[in-house]
Amino acid sequence: MRFVDEAVIRVEAGNGGNGCLSFRREKFIPYGGPDGGDGGDGGDIYLEGDQGLNTLVDFRYNRLFRAEHGQKGMGSQCSGKSGDDLIIRVPLGTLAYDADTNELLGDVVKPGQRLLVAKGGVHGLGNVRFKSSTNRAPRRTTPGTPGEIRQLRLELNVLADVGLLGLPNAGKSTFIRAVSAARPKVADYPFTTLHPHLGVVRVDVERSFVMADIPGLIEGAAEGAGLGVHFLKHLSRTRLLLHLVDVGTPNDTAEVVDAFRVIEAELEKFSKDLHRRERWLVLTKIDMLAREEYARRCGQIVAGAGWKGPVFQISAVTGEGCPELIYRIQERLDEMKQR
């Protein structure tokens, strides 16, 4: 399924029903008096988190959502039926903005969580409400108020514990395929990954975490080059970033260090907060080098980049280094949760 992470929809809450103008008319009961009932309230519109959805693609084809109107009041002091609420199911991680004012209305992050996006109209009052000692036969009613109408802009930020960063062909898709059930496309050309992929990495029976494979960045992405930084917003919820660097491609060490710095620069341009987030350096494709060669080269790259954080060396093809990295990630996430 194609990944869609933004959509604009129109929501129209139900109008409130009008109050009723009515008088009691029964044989042998003269001067029966007013008995017009109130109208019903209009239906509200909610967004509800659904764990089974992972895109906003349905909103490309269905853009208008209307809740039921409240029914008008009736005689014999009968109130009109309130309109049913309308529930719109959305993926977890959906943010709802008012498209006209750009106001953030809320964020749906939990299964079953409901977010009110359009309030239904209030019912009108029937003439029985205006009866008094000085006004025995009121002919006054009030109309129901209209429901809210909004243009909503929905944005989906994928929910993941760990995000993968790197240039195109750094090995991100191969790595997430190796450690989870996610199956992103893998090929030897730029931009194999065109949309984020989520994979659940299971460490043992009771422990797992979610990893996101984000499309690769290139120099100038912050200015719109390549795929731009459109998908970097999906890393805003992650707690840990893995910066993958290809050490197996026959480039000299200086080129590899430059590739590392490209991502550093683009990340900082996009978000200072994201640039300061905890990040680990993962050197990939070590199976393409002899052990002595990759050990020497990895040392040169870490020194050249001036990297002070954790460093891991892996091969997603052979699996070397992957179990250790996965267990270390789980331990770190557990520490963060306790903290």
Beta bridge partners of 211: 162, 199
pLDDT for 251 equals 64
Q: Which residue has the tokens 């080098």?
A: 289
The DSSP annotation for 260-324 comes to: HHHHHHHHHHH-HHHHHS-EEEEEE-GGGS-HHHHHHHHHHHHHHHT--S-EEE--TTT-TTHHH
Give pLDDT, residue 16. Answer: 96
Which of 112, 131, 156 is at the close of a domain? 156
Examine the domain organization and report whether 81 and 124 are in the same domain: yes
Residue-range definition of the domain harbouring residue 111: 6-156
Q: pLDDT tier at 233 (50, 70, 90 boundaries)?
A: low
Contact 40, 165 (CB under 8 A): no
Q: Is residue 183 in some structural domain?
A: yes
What's the pLDDT band for 238 if we cut at 50, 70, 90? confident
The token pair that represents 8 in the structure block: 């604009």
Concatenated DSSP letters for 109-152?
Answer: -STT-EEEEEPPPPPPPPGGGG--SS-SS-----PPPPPPEEEE
Q: From 156, 176, 206, give the residue that closes a domain.
A: 156
Q: Burial level of 120, CB count in 10 A (0-12/13-18/19+)?
A: buried
Sign for the pseudo-dihedral over CA of 256, 258, 261, 265: negative
What's the CA gap between 156 and 139, in Å, rounded?
A: 52
130, 156, 182 - which closes a domain? 156
- Token readout for 98 is 């008012």
Exposed e or buried b per residue across 219-238, where buried means at least 16 C-beta atoms within 10 angstroms of its C-beta: bebbeeebbbbebbbbbebb
Structure tokens at 329: 């990630």
Tokens of 165: 């960063």
- Provide the pLDDT for residue 268: 79
Does 144 share its domain with 29?
yes
26 and 151 share a domain? yes
| Tens of pLDDT, residues 30-87 | 667 899 999 999 999 999 998 777 678 778 788 999 999 999 999 888 999 999 999 9
In-domain check, residue 1: no
Q: Tell me which residue has tokens 């991100």.
A: 172
Query: Does residue 183 contact residue 37 with C-beta atoms inside 8 Å?
Result: no
pTM listed for this prediction: 0.62
Q: Are residues 76 and 92 in the same domain?
A: yes
Sheet holding 86-91, edge to edge: 86-91, 45-50, 114-118
